[in-house]
C-alpha cells in the first residue's frame, strides 16, 4: 500500500466555468461543484483539482490572479469554498487548488504598488528594466516586455501583458507568496497544482535566448528557452516550498513543467528533486503529443518511467484544459479511447482525468466569432485556441444539458445528448460504466496501483504488453493498438509456465483462463490478466 495518498491517486480535474452552473448565468461555479460531489464519488476518485477560482479580471480566465485569498464572485464566495472542502472531505475526496505563482494580474495590489516608483516596499516584487534588455518573446504573442508609463520602466510578462511576472529572486516576494499558500493550507486545502512552475526564476543577467528554427507560427517557438525558464535557482525555491508544505500533514504539490514539444521527461522529472525534496508530482505531456501506436506509446512510457525511477512517482494524463480532448485527437474512435483509458489506469503512480473524459466527451466546435481564449484569438487559424476542450459538461438531455438554465458561456459539444451522464447511466456498455469498472478495479487492486511496471517484447509490434508486479503477484496487460486482429506470443508467460486468468477486458469478457502462447486479440481491444503459477502436483 502506498505510504501517501498522492502516490497512487486518481485526480479529477474540473474547469469550474464549465462543470455545473447553479444560478443560471451560464458559468459554472462552486455551489454547482458541490451539487455534483455525489456523482464524483461514484467514480471512486481520490481528489478533485479546480482550475483557478480566485479573484481575477479574467484576461486569461483565472490564470491572471488579482487576489490569491479572495474568490471571484462569478464562482461564489469564501463560504462556498469552505463548504466545498467540508463536503468533499466527508466523501473522502481531497481538494487541490490551481495556483499561478509565476505571475499575477496587472490588477493585483502588489503590481499597483510596484509600478508607483522604484523605491517603494514592493518595487522589486516584479521584474523591471530601463530598456528592453533581451530578445525574449511572450508565449501569447509579442515581446515579453511592456512599457509602464507610471514607473517609466519595462516590466516582464511571459504570457499576456496583463500577466506581469513575479520576481522570485526577491526574498520579500517569496515570503508574500508563501503567505498566500499558508492561508489555504490552514483552510484545509490538500494540495496545489502549480502553473508553469519551471518558469518562476529568470536569468539574473537577463541574457538573450538562442534562436532556433520553429515549426509553429509563434516567435516564442523560435527560441531555446534557457534563460527565461529552468534556471538552477528554481530548484532551490521549490525545496523551500516543499519544506512549507511538509509542515502540514498529507499535503501535495503537482507541477506543470513547460517544455519543448513533444516533451522532455527528464527535465520534468528533475523537478521532483534528486532526493524527493521538490515537487511530489509533475506532469509529462509526451503521451498527449504522441501518435496512437504500440511502438510509440511503449517508447514514451518507458522513457518516463526511466526518468522518474523506482523511488519517485510518475504522473499520467491524456488531456486537460490546454490540450485537446483525447477522443477528438483520436478522431472520435471510441474503441481507441477505451484502450487509451485502459493504458492510463493500469500505470504505476498518479492518474489525472479531465472532466467529461469518463463520458468520451469530445471537443466543442467553437467558431472564431465565439472564441474567448486569447491564445486562439492571436494565432487563429494556426492555433484553434483552447476553448474547444473547455466546453460544458453534459449532464442530461434537453436544453442546457443540465449544465445551465441560462445561456452557456461556451457551446456544448455537437450531439450532446448521446454523451450525457443521464443517457450513459442507462447503458451498461457506455463509456461511463467502462470507466467506473476500470476505476473500481484499480481501487481494489494493489498491484495495478503500485506494482513495478515492466514492458514486454512480444511477437507482434502492434501489441503493447507490460506486466505489473508486487513480488509474485502479477498482472499482465495486453493492448492491440491496431485495426486488425493480431496473434502474438508472450515470452514472459512461456518461460514462467503460468496460468492466465482474464480479469478485465474491453471485450466485456472475464473470468476465463487463457493460454497466451498464441493469443488472438481483436482490433483496438485490451485485456488484463492475473498470472497464476501452475500447481506442480497437477
3-state secondary structure of 297: helix
Contacts of 279 (CB under 8 A, 6+ apart): 194, 197, 238, 242, 253, 254, 255, 271, 272, 273
Cβ–Cβ < 8 Å for 292, 338: no
Distance CA 176, CA 179 (A): 5
Q: What is the CA radius of gyration of the chain?
A: 24
Nearest of 501, 519, 498, 518 to residue 510 by alpha carbon: 501
Q: Which residues are bridge partners to 96 per DSSP? A: 49, 191
**Catalytic residue chosen out of the listed positions 256, 264, 357, 445:** 256
Torsion sign over Cα 440, 29, 187, 101:
positive
Does residue 357 have an active-site annotation? no
Query: Annotated catalytic residue: which of 195, 278, 357, 373?
Result: 195
In this structure, the number of other CB atoms found within 10 A of the CB of residue 520 comes to: 11
Q: Is 427 a catalytic residue?
A: no
CA separation, residue 496 to residues 150, 272, 500, 533 (Å): 74, 36, 11, 8
**Alpha helix segments (H runs only) across 345-445:** 374-379, 421-426, 431-444
- Using left for φ > 0, alpha for ψ between -120 and 50, and beta otherwise, residue 116 falls in alpha
334-to-119, 295, 357, 506 alpha-carbon distances in Å? 60, 20, 11, 11
What cell does 381 get? 487559424
Question: SS3 for 264?
Answer: coil
Residues acting as catalytic residues: 195, 256
Amino acid at each position: 500500500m502506498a505510504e501517501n495518498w498522492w502516490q497512487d491517486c486518481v485526480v479529477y480535474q474540473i474547469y469550474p466555468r464549465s462543470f455545473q452552473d447553479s444560478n443560471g448565468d451560464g458559468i459554472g461555479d462552486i455551489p454547482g461543484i458541490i451539487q455534483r460531489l455525489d456523482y464524483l464519488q461514484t467514480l471512486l476518485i481520490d481528489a478533485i483539482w479546480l482550475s483557478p477560482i480566485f479573484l481575477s479580471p479574467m484576461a486569461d480566465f483565472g490564470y491572471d490572479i488579482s487576489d490569491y485569498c479572495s474568490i471571484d464572485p462569478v464562482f461564489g464566495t469564501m463560504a462556498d469554498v469552505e463548504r466545498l472542502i467540508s463536503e468533499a472531505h466527508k466523501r473522502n475526496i481531497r481538494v487541490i487548488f490551481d495556483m499561478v505563482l509565476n505571475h499575477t494580474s496587472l490588477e493585483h495590489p502588489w503590481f499597483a504598488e510596484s509600478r508607483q516608483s522604484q523605491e517603494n516596499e514592493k518595487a522589486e516584487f516584479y521584474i523591471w528594466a530601463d530598456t528592453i534588455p533581451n530578445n525574449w518573446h511572450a508565449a501569447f504573442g509579442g515581446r515579453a516586455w511592456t512599457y509602464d508609463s507610471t514607473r517609466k520602466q519595462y516590466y516582464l510578462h511571459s504570457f499576456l501583458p496583463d500577466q506581469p511576472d513575479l520576481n522570485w529572486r526577491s526574498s520579500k516576494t517569496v515570503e508574500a507568496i508563501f503567505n498566500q499558500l499558508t492561508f489555504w493550507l490552514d483552510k484545509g486545502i490538500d494540495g496545489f497544482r502549480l502553473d508553469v512552475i519551471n518558469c518562476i526564476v529568470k536569468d539574473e543577467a537577463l541574457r538573450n535566448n538562442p534562436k532556433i528554427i520553429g515549426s509553429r507560427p509563434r516567435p516564442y517557438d523560435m527560441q531555446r528557452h534557457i534563460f527565461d525558464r529552468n534556471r538552477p535557482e528554481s530548484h532551490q525555491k521549490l525545496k523551500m516550498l516543499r519544506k512549507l508544505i511538509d509542515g502540514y500533514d498529507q499535503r501535495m504539490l503537482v507541477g506543470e513543467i513547460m517544455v519543448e514539444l513533444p516533451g522532455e521527461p527528464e527535465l520534468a522529472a528533475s523537478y521532483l528533486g534528486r532526493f524527493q525534496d521538490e515537487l511530489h508530482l509533475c506532469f509529462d505531456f509526451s503521451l498527449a503529443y504522441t501518435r496512437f501506436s504500440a511502438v510509440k506509446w511503449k517508447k514514451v512510457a518507458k522513457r518516463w518511467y526511466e526518468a522518474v525511477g523506482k523511488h519517485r512517482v510518475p504522473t499520467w494524463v491524456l488531456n486537460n484544459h490546454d490540450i485537446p480532448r483525447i477522443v477528438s485527437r483520436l478522431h472520435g474512435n471510441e474503441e481507441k479511447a477505451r484502450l487509451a483509458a485502459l493504458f492510463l489506469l493500469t500505470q504505476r503512480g498518479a492518474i489525472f482525468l479531465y472532466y467529461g473524459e469518463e463520458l468520451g466527451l469530445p471537443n466543442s466546435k467553437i467558431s472564431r466569432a465565439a472564441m474567448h481564449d486569447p491564445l486562439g484569438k492571436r494565432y487563429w487559424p494556426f492555433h484553434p485556441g483552447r476553448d474547444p476542450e473547455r466546453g460544458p459538461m453534459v449532464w442530461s438531455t434537453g436544453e442546457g444539458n443540465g449544465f445551465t438554465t441560462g445561456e452557456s458561456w461556451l457551446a456544448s459539444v455537437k450531439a450532446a445528448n448521446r454523451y450525457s451522464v443521464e443517457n450513459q447511466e442507462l447503458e451498461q456498455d457506455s463509456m461511463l460504466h467502462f470507466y467506473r469498472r476500470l476505476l473500481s478495479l484499480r481501487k481494489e487492486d494493489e498491484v495495478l496501483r503500485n506494482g513495478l511496471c515492466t514492458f514486454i517484447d512480444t511477437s507482434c509490434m502492434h501489441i503493447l504488453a507490460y506486466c505489473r508486479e508486487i513480488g509474485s503477484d502479477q498482472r499482465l496487460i495486453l493492448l492491440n493498438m491496431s485495426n486488425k486482429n493480431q496473434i502474438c506470443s508472450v515470452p514472459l508467460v512461456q518461460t514462467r509456465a503460468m496460468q492466465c486468468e482474464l480479469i478485465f477486458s474491453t471485450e466485456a469478457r472475464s473470468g476465463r483462463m487463457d493460454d497466451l502462447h498464441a493469443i488472438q486479440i481483436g482490433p483496438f481491444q485490451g485485456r488484463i490478466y492475473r498470472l497464476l503459477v501452475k500447481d506442480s502436483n497437477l
